[in-house]
């Protein structure tokens, strides 16, 4: 479950950067939900609210998602990723900020001992790159 959480966290961070609903730091106190899926072999997600369609996860975040969803049946057809800049009940893992690069930010997953890069879409969800991103990954149909 920890591995799944780390991958989901990476996805949530990427999605969080893309959301425009949170133009202030208050977004870090709100839970954000995305449904990543595989398209043409890449993990992507859609968020019409912020104008994103098939936004890809790359540069290590894709690998973290593979690991985090390893125990989620049919994850490639979509799973739920819930993320936040603050800890919340049920979060499976966290991503720790490391450094900025190429307009995005590198995060480290202690659960997988691996880094992944979140693109500038992160700023659609957060005003600033959060120091930590907490993530919960679960099957889509789960209530």
The CATH number for 75's domain is 2.40.50
Find out whether 79 and 45 touch, Cβ atoms under 8 Å.
no
Which of 129, 130, 118, 133 has the alpha carbon at shortest distance from 60?
Answer: 118
> In terms of pLDDT, which residue wins out, 134 or 18?
134
The structural domain count of the chain equals: 1
Give the tens place of pLDDT for each residue, 83-117.
999 999 999 999 999 999 999 999 999 999 999 99
19 lies in which domain range? 2-139
Find out whether 39 and 97 touch, Cβ atoms under 8 Å.
no
Q: How far is CA 139 from CA 11, 19, 22, 81, 104, in A?
A: 14, 22, 25, 9, 28
Measured CA to CA, the distance from residue 118 to residue 104 in angstroms comes to: 6
Q: What tokens appear for 143 in the block?
A: 């209530």
Answer yes or no: pTM beyond 0.75: yes
Residue 128 has a pLDDT of: 95
**Which residue in the block uniquely carries the two structure tokens 């959060």?**
130
Measured CA to CA, the distance from residue 94 to residue 76 in angstroms comes to: 21
């Amino acid at each position: 479950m920890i591995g799944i959480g780390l991958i989901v966290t990476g996805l949530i961070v990427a999605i969080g950067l893309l959301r425009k609903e949170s133009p202030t730091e208050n977004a870090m106190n709100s839970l954000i939900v995305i449904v990543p899926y595989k398209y043409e072999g890449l993990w992507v997600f859609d968020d019409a609210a912020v104008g994103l369609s098939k936004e890809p996860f790359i540069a290590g975040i894709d690998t973290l998602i593979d690991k985090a969803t390893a125990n989620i049946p049919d994850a490639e057809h979509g799973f739920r990723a819930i993320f936040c800049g603050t800890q919340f009940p049920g979060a499976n893992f966290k991503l720790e900020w490391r450094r900025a690069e190429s307009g995005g930010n590198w995060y480290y997953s202690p659960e997988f001992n691996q880094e992944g890069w979140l693109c500038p879409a992160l700023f659609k969800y957060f005003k600033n790159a959060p120091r930590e991103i907490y993530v919960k990954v679960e099957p889509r149909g789960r209530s």
